[in-house]
């Protein structure tokens, strides 16, 4: 419903509403209920459609990189098998390419399906029964069976099953914290007179799905169900396609950059080789292989493996990662926006102070408050629970319960805003003990007690009392007064008239306190370059207090009403320069998050109520906590199962480490491939044969990519984790142009060495002097030489470029990465001496080759280290 409809339902007469929904005080008949369900809709929420498995499969296997590989596999199948002569048909290249697609896609699919099974049951929040009057009788029905026009009976502890208009109410107290973020319950009154439109949840005679009955009872008419409720309208906005995160944008930009580069280089290689060797089919096949070599086809798998490893680590620390991409985004966050209630605070009201009228802690005040709260027969609200818990900690309540007996009580009502109990001690002394809102307590208290002396409340004393209460209110506390009177009326004659001429003995100050770990967590975030902003629906006083307690600077505070006065340009500046925003509605929270993202920030939003859900959706990372309402958990990418907010710091560090490991693969692979293309172009111009067979390139690529699977298990230097990390596709281009040509230098020296020295020495002469059989042997030896050198340099440069420090001396890779990359080098090195190497047309290498290889590799790593120094000097960071 919209604001106009809520106003109409709040002001329309009950008779007209009954006519509108074809109902009465006896409720709907079974037939009328079915008709209303057809007309007004079922009481079910739609939280977006579940992605079909087929779509998940397509998304996993069809990526920009795999599309290229699939295309190359099809072309290779046609050229190597369909149109090839029967004796020359070979599917090995097709097999290698297909294996790359299957391995990468399968891992992505498994994790995608697994992540989608995370708690996405929005309906679980309302999966309870409610008391409905049907056919003139009260029955219990599942909430999803409720329809517009039903008469609902509510009691303490009930969940509001739909949006309702009150018909009658008695002492009705509703918790709307999941909708508004307000800590304290609010009063709802059926007889309230509405004269003008209000903010939706402010209507005194309307109740809303997703809120709870704290105390009292009521009957109400269902006016909206399912997606038409306020709860449903927010849920509906969450089913929209999420905004791409900075991580996803970075992946896409990088993918397109590499694919564009491949689209330029591969045809160029085909043309040059076609002209050089005068065999266009062979040149075309070689160009296809070069395209595969340029494609970091394992990028989806490397990314997914990193994210899965991170999610498993986080799960052990009590955190559910619903959206795998959110782990990396943790590391990129430079602004964390947080709600206050339930995230910074415990979402549990406590009795902060029990003060006498001198402003000093006094257990006598707590004792009187305890007797009042413990012995009243109505539902004990959060304030009563807080008093009782504090008394259990500080007083001998067992003795109090023995020494005092209840005589009578005067129940709470919202006109008086107070309640009284009459107690009698073991000596027969009777006392009336009253607690309530301070203004109401002053209205019935003629005296005040200071240091055991009772004094009349003069105008001056009244101002002193109000000043003390205002001081507590400025600290964000809710204050109640406690008064007592000795020997009131006789039993059976107690009434509200007895609440007069009482003695004010003290104050009770309540607070929704911050979590113990919040301050340390926020300090840790600041140390790691993450700014914190508070977006809350709560009031300024309470928010100010909490922010001061957790160490957030409290300067100028912006309210939701003030935001409406700013222009769009002013809002972008306001959200940058201010840290605390209060009295915000869900739309304002979402808009502020969007503005921060438009300003170039990577934004995390942490909240626990339905009023936070839209902002979580708009953020790069939505973070919720274990006590959150289900809709907040559904909107979150990350759910903290433990109340220890230090998990946030762990998440940030994990995210940055994962980002660094992904960058290792992307940047080193892209630069190596870029360098290989320079090498291929140079070789194509100087050699009378192609520098490496297509199948050899594919196999070399497979060994390298399998070695790269170890990267997710590598560690990052501590210094790398100190600042937020954001994906920048342009930095990948810079990295390619700086480090790619360095590898080409030594590829070219290897070409010269193999073509003019080693191969002629082993085969028996220069290439142009050999017969056909010797030329085949020459080419096989040349290919083997470049194959091994290329694998060594491409793999070892991972260790050099993984850290700004000197590799193997100042910073070492993890044991897993060192072991697997070493195994990759060993496999590639012995390959020319095996039967498989023979099938790949590789020849065994002579002994003098290995000395030159070691010299080449050491010189290459030294040059990379020097270039790395100048690169960091220019751009400030390596990865």
CATH code for the domain in which residue 692 is found: 1.20.1110.10
520 and 563 together in one domain: yes
520 and 501 together in one domain: no
The C-alpha atoms of residue 226 and residue 216 are separated, in whole angstroms, by 25
The proportion of the chain whose per-residue pLDDT surpasses 90, expressed as a percent, equals 13
The residue ranking higher by pLDDT, 238 or 709, is: 709
Render pLDDT for 395-408 as a digit per residue (tens, 0 to 9). 888 888 888 888 88
* 509-525 mean pLDDT: 80
CATH code for the domain in which residue 388 is found: 3.40.1110.10
Of 152-161, 477-486, 731-740, which has the strongest mean pLDDT? 477-486
The two beta strands, 531-535 and 502-511, are unpaired
Examine residue 83 and state whether it is found in any structural domain, yes or no: no
Lowest mean pLDDT among 288-297, 356-365, 414-423, 426-435: 288-297
Overall residue count recorded for the chain in this entry: 879
Looking at the predicted structure, is the pLDDT value of residue 33 above 80? Answer: yes
* 514-520 mean pLDDT: 78
702 and 623 together in one domain: no
Looking at the predicted structure, is the pLDDT value of residue 242 above 70? Answer: no
* DSSP states along 340-388: STTTTB-S--EEEEEEETTSSB-HHHHHHHHHHHHH--S---HHHHHHH
- pLDDT at 826 (0 to 100): 93
* DSSP states along 278-340: S-HHHHHHHHHHHHHHH--TTHHHHHHHHHHHHHHHHHHTTEEESSTHHHHHHHH-SEEEE-S
615 and 566 together in one domain: yes
Looking at the predicted structure, is the pLDDT value of residue 755 above 70? Answer: yes
Looking at the predicted structure, is the pLDDT value of residue 24 above 80? Answer: yes
* 174-200 mean pLDDT: 72
Examine residue 580 and state whether it is found in any structural domain, yes or no: yes
Binning pLDDT at 50, 70 and 90, where does residue 111 land? low
- pLDDT at 222 (0 to 100): 92
The residue ranking higher by pLDDT, 49 or 791, is: 791
765 and 849 together in one domain: yes
Examine residue 301 and state whether it is found in any structural domain, yes or no: yes
Looking at the predicted structure, is the pLDDT value of residue 595 above 80? Answer: yes
Looking at the predicted structure, is the pLDDT value of residue 370 above 90? Answer: yes
Examine residue 164 and state whether it is found in any structural domain, yes or no: yes
Looking at the predicted structure, is the pLDDT value of residue 85 above 60? Answer: yes
Residue that is last in its domain, among 238, 271, 293: 238
9 and 154 together in one domain: yes
Examine residue 618 and state whether it is found in any structural domain, yes or no: yes
The C-alpha atoms of residue 404 and residue 423 are separated, in whole angstroms, by 6
Contact in structure between 411 and 494 (CB atoms under 8 Å): no
The residue ranking higher by pLDDT, 830 or 588, is: 830
Render pLDDT for 534-564 as a digit per residue (tens, 0 to 9). 888 766 766 777 788 888 877 788 888 888 8
Lowest mean pLDDT among 58-62, 124-128, 702-706, 804-808: 124-128
Looking at the predicted structure, is the pLDDT value of residue 665 above 70? Answer: yes
- pLDDT at 183 (0 to 100): 53
Token digits for 760?
């002629």
Render pLDDT for 445-459 as a digit per residue (tens, 0 to 9). 999 998 889 999 998
Looking at the predicted structure, is the pLDDT value of residue 843 above 80? Answer: yes
The C-alpha atoms of residue 177 and residue 155 are separated, in whole angstroms, by 18
Examine residue 54 and state whether it is found in any structural domain, yes or no: no
Of 216-220, 525-529, 824-828, which has the strongest mean pLDDT? 824-828
- pLDDT at 269 (0 to 100): 73
Looking at the predicted structure, is the pLDDT value of residue 98 above 60? Answer: yes
- pLDDT at 123 (0 to 100): 34
* 433-438 mean pLDDT: 89
329 and 412 together in one domain: no
Render pLDDT for 247-304 as a digit per residue (tens, 0 to 9). 666 666 766 776 777 777 778 777 877 777 677 776 776 776 666 666 666 666 677 7
The two beta strands, 350-356 and 502-511, are antiparallel
20 and 166 together in one domain: yes
Q: Which domain range does residue 412 map to?
A: 350-511
Q: Which of 32, 339, 475, 637 is catalytic?
A: 339
Residues 6+ apart with CB under 8 A from 722: 527, 528, 529
- pLDDT at 125 (0 to 100): 33
* 150-172 mean pLDDT: 83
Looking at the predicted structure, is the pLDDT value of residue 49 above 70? Answer: no
- pLDDT at 503 (0 to 100): 93
The residue ranking higher by pLDDT, 221 or 732, is: 221
- Where on the phi/psi map is residue 451: left (φ > 0), alpha (ψ -120 to 50), or beta? left
Looking at the predicted structure, is the pLDDT value of residue 127 above 60? Answer: no
* 706-725 mean pLDDT: 82
* Mean pLDDT score across all residues of the chain: 80
Binning pLDDT at 50, 70 and 90, where does residue 220 land? very high
Residue that is last in its domain, among 588, 608, 641: 641
- Count of CB atoms situated within 10 Å of the CB of 98: 16
845 and 748 together in one domain: yes
The C-alpha atoms of residue 478 and residue 542 are separated, in whole angstroms, by 9
Looking at the predicted structure, is the pLDDT value of residue 797 above 90? Answer: no
Residue that is last in its domain, among 209, 238, 267: 238
635 and 723 together in one domain: no
Render pLDDT for 616-627 as a digit per residue (tens, 0 to 9). 878 888 887 765
404: closest CA among 431, 364, 376, 377? 431
- pLDDT at 120 (0 to 100): 44
Looking at the predicted structure, is the pLDDT value of residue 568 above 90? Answer: no
pTM to 2 decimal places: 0.63
Looking at the predicted structure, is the pLDDT value of residue 116 above 80? Answer: no
User: How many domains is the chain partitioned into structurally?
Assistant: 4
Examine residue 445 and state whether it is found in any structural domain, yes or no: yes
CATH code for the domain in which residue 333 is found: 3.40.50.1000
Looking at the predicted structure, is the pLDDT value of residue 593 above 80? Answer: yes
Lowest mean pLDDT among 421-435, 484-498, 769-783: 484-498
Examine residue 105 and state whether it is found in any structural domain, yes or no: no
217 and 174 together in one domain: yes
Contact in structure between 163 and 208 (CB atoms under 8 Å): yes
- pLDDT at 560 (0 to 100): 82
CATH code for the domain in which residue 198 is found: 2.70.150.10
Q: Is 150 a catalytic residue?
A: no
10 and 158 together in one domain: yes
């Amino acid at each position: 419903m919209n604001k106009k409809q809520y106003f109409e339902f709040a002001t329309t007469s009950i008779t007209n509403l009954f006519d509108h929904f074809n109902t009465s005080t006896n409720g709907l008949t079974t037939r009328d209920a079915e008709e209303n369900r057809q007309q007004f809709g079922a009481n079910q929420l739609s939280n977006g459609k579940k992605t079909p498995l087929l779509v998940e499969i397509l998304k996993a296997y069809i990526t920009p990189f795999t599309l290229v590989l699939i295309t190359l596999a099809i072309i290779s199948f046609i050229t190597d098998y369909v149109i090839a002569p029967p004796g020359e048909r070979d599917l090995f290249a097709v097999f290698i390419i297909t294996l790359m697609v299957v391995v990468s896609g399968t891992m992505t699919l498994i994790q995608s399906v697994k992540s989608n099974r995370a708690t996405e049951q929005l309906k679980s929040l309302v999966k309870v029964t409610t008391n409905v009057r049907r056919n003139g009788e009260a029955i219990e029905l599942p909430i999803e069976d409720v329809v517009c026009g039903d008469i609902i009976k509510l009691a303490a502890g009930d969940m509001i099953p739909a949006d309702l208009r009150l018909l009658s109410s008695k002492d009705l107290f509703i918790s709307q914290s999941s909708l508004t973020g307000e800590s304290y319950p609010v009063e709802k009154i059926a007889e309230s007179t509405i004269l003008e439109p209000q903010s939706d949840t402010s209507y005194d005679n309307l109740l809303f799905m997703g809120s709870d009955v704290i105390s009292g009872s009521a009957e109400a008419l269902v006016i909206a169900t399912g997606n038409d409720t306020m709860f449903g309208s927010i849920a509906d906005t969450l089913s929209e396609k999420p905004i791409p995160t900075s991580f996803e944008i970075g992946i896409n930009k990088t993918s397109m950059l590499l694919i564009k580069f491949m689209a330029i280089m591969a045809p160029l290689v085909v043309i040059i080789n076609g002209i050089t060797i005068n065999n266009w089919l062979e040149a075309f096949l070689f160009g296809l292989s070069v395209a595969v070599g340029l494609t970091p086809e394992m990028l989806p798998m490397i990314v997914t493996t990193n994210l899965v490893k991170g999610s498993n680590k986080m799960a052990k620390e009590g955190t559910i990662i619903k959206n795998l991409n959110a782990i990396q985004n943790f590391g990129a966050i430079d602004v964390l926006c947080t709600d206050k209630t339930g995230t910074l605070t415990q979402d549990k009201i406590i009795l902060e102070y029990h003060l006498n009228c001198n402003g000093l802690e006094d257990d006598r005040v707590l004792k009187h408050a305890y007797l009042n709260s413990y012995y009243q027969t109505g539902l004990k609200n959060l304030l009563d629970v807080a008093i009782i818990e504090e008394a259990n900690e500080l007083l001998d309540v067992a003795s109090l319960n023995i020494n005092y007996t209840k005589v009578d009580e005067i129940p709470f009502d919202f006109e008086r805003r107070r309640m009284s109990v009459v107690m009698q001690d073991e000596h027969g002394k009777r006392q009336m003990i009253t607690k309530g809102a301070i203004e109401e307590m002053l209205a019935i208290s003629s005296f005040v007690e200071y240091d055991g002396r009772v004094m009349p409340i003069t105008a001056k004393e009244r101002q002193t009392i109000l000043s003390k209460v205002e001081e507590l209110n400025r600290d964000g506390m809710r204050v109640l007064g406690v008064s007592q009177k000795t020997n009131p009326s006789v039993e059976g004659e107690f009434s509200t008239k007895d609440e007069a001429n009482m003695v004010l003995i003290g104050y009770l100050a309540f607070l929704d306190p911050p979590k113990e770990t919040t301050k340390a967590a926020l300090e840790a975030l600041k140390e790691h370059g993450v700014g914190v902003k508070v977006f809350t629906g709560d009031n300024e006083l309470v928010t100010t207090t909490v922010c001061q307690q957790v160490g957030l600077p409290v300067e100028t505070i912006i309210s939701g009403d003030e935001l409406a006065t700013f222009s769009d340009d002013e809002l972008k500046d306001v959200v940058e320069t201010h840290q605390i925003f209060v009295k915000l509605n869900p739309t304002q929270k979402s808009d502020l998050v969007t503005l921060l993202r438009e300003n170039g920030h990577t934004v995390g939003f942490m909240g626990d109520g339905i009023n936070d859900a839209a902002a979580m959706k708009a953020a790069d990372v939505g973070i919720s906590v274990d006590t959150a309402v289900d809709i907040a958990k559904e909107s979150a990418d990350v759910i903290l199962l433990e109340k220890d907010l230090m998990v946030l710091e762990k998440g940030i560090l994990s995210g940055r480490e994962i980002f660094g490991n992904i960058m290792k693969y992307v940047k080193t692979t892209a630069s190596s491939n870029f360098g290989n293309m320079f090498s291929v172009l140079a070789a194509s111009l100087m050699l009378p044969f192609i520098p490496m067979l297509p199948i050899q390139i594919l196999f070399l690529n497979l060994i390298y990519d399998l070695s790269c699977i170890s990267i997710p298990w590598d560690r990052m230097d501590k210094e790398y984790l100190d600042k937020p990390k954001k994906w920048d596709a342009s930095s990948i281009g810079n990295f390619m142009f700086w480090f790619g040509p360095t590898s080409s230098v030594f590829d070219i020296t290897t070409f010269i060495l193999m073509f003019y020295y080693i191969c002629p020495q082993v085969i028996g002469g220069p290439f142009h002097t050999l017969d056909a059989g010797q030329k085949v042997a020459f080419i096989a030896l040349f290919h083997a030489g470049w194959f091994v050198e290329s694998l060594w340099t491409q793999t070892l440069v991972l260790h050099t470029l993984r850290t700004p420090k000197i590799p193997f001396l100042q910073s070492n890779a993890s044991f897993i990465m060192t072991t697997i990359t070493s195994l990759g080098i060993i496999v590639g090195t012995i390959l020319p001496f095996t039967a498989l190497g023979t099938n790949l047309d590789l020849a065994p290498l002579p002994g003098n080759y290995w000395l030159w290889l070691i010299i080449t590799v050491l010189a290459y790593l030294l040059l990379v280290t020097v270039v790395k120094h100048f690169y960091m000097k220019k751009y400030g960071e390596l990865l």
